[in-house]
Amino acid sequence: ADYIVPDTHNFESWGFTAPWGGVASKATTARWPVVAPATHRTADGQPVSMEAFCIAVAKRLHLPGFGDRAITDPQGNTFPLNRAEDFYLRVAANIAFMGKTPVAPANQEDISLTGVSRILPAIQHTLKADEVDRVAFIYSRGGRFAPEDSGYTEQRLGNAWKKPLQIWNADVAAHRHAITGERFSGCPVWYPARLSDGRAIDDQFPIGQWPLKLISFKSNTMSSSTAVIPRLHHVKPANLVALNPQDGERYGLQHGDRVRIITPGGQVVAQISLLNGVMPGVIAIEHGYGHREMGATQHSLDGVPMPYDPQIRAGINLNDLGFADPTRTITNTWLDWVSGAAVRQGLPAKIERI
């Protein structure tokens, strides 16, 4: 990297997000700094962050859309974009007023009980007078949430997709695969798992030699960023590596046995669990474990050993079992034939009891 720019933690910053597709009612969550950022301050008092860096660079390059007259409202009034608050608080105002009716204004109890009083000066300094109390309401509730029952109307989706569904997409059909030259299908179609030259993965790695397929699944306790939390390791010290009981019988394995899992790209040792919820022929690995960094390995700065916790390394990581696509002239990982994403489902594998 040419530059390493310090950034804020999520507890120190502004932000918005929304639930994934499994939530039928509309919702947007709002994040605001609950603690003062630990980063240094700029000359004008801003905490050093991604937003502060991007805005400063844009202003130095005289890019449009930044500076004192960057934002225009429907009435033609202009407003600044010099700080992160200039952006995020106006997003909050948009959320507060969108839809058929705006949210209610916050009362003093809302503001004092939720701690929004700490950011109220920034809200008042940045927004119009009629926006202040409604944005305070958004932050006092942690976002804006439609009623739970709004997701469904008489057994149908309440927020239905009203545009036509494209069964045929001419743009997709007009494109070819970058390596093989084969045209993509313009309508939904099933492709077998393929390597970059279009060859089926089972042709390159025959099922007779690689009888199992590896998949990963999300953990109910751990994520890619929470492995540093000791309490979660107290709940589940290592990840689940699961096999169907039929396969357990086939390989002479019992629940709790230690096994060696082998793929064309590597091998790991794990404790196996036999679960009916796993398809026969599949090894399912719980994601979020087996980190090498994030505090799992000790490093030294200027000869001073830094703290570390070897428990963060506990478990195995499916990424360590990935492999290079043998059909590529230049070494690269196996990528999905259509999307180009790194493949981490359906890796050919075999298993040995230890």
Strands 282-286, 212-217: pairing kind: parallel
What pTM was computed for the model? 0.70
Query: How many angstroms separate the CA atoms of 284 and 257, rounded?
Result: 15
pLDDT bin (cut points 50, 70, 90) of residue 161 is confident
On average, the pLDDT of the chain sits at 93
Total count of domains within the chain: 2
Q: Do residues 113 and 217 both lie within one domain? A: no
Does 20 or 220 have the greater pLDDT score? 220
Model pLDDT, residue 1: 60
In a domain, residue 199? The reply is no
Examine the domain organization and report whether 232 and 334 are in the same domain. Answer: yes
CATH number (domain holding residue 282) = 2.40.40.20
236 and 96 within one domain: no
Residue 223 has pLDDT above 70, yes or no: yes
pLDDT at position 265, please? 94
pLDDT reading at 166 higher than 90: no
- Co-location of 211 and 349 in the same domain: yes
Which phi and psi angles does 17 have, rounded to 5°?
-155, 175
Each residue's pLDDT tens digit, 15-61: 999 988 788 899 999 999 999 999 999 998 999 999 999 999 999 99
CA dist., res. 265 & res. 101, Å (int): 56
- Report the share of the chain in percent with pLDDT over 90: 83
* Triad 7, 12, 18: Cα angle to 5°: 95
Tokens 């109890």 belong to residue:
109
In-domain check, residue 164: no
Are both 336 and 223 inside the same structural domain? Answer: yes
Q: Within this chain, do residues 346 and 232 fall inside the same structural domain, yes or no?
A: yes
Backbone phi and psi for residue 351, each to the nearest 5 degrees, phi listed first: -135, 145
Q: Could you tell me if 137 and 61 lie in one domain?
A: yes
**Which of 3, 5, 2 has its CA nearest to residue 50?**
5
Mean pLDDT of 163-192: 92
Q: Give me the domain span that covers residue 69.
A: 10-149
Could you give the CA distance from residue 139 to residue 31 in angstroms, rounded to a whole number? Answer: 8
% of the chain exceeding 70 in pLDDT = 100
349 and 221 part of one domain: yes
Q: Looking at the structure, do residues 14 and 133 belong to the same domain, yes or no?
A: yes
Contacts of 104 (CB under 8 A, 6+ apart): 134, 137
* 233 falls within a domain: yes
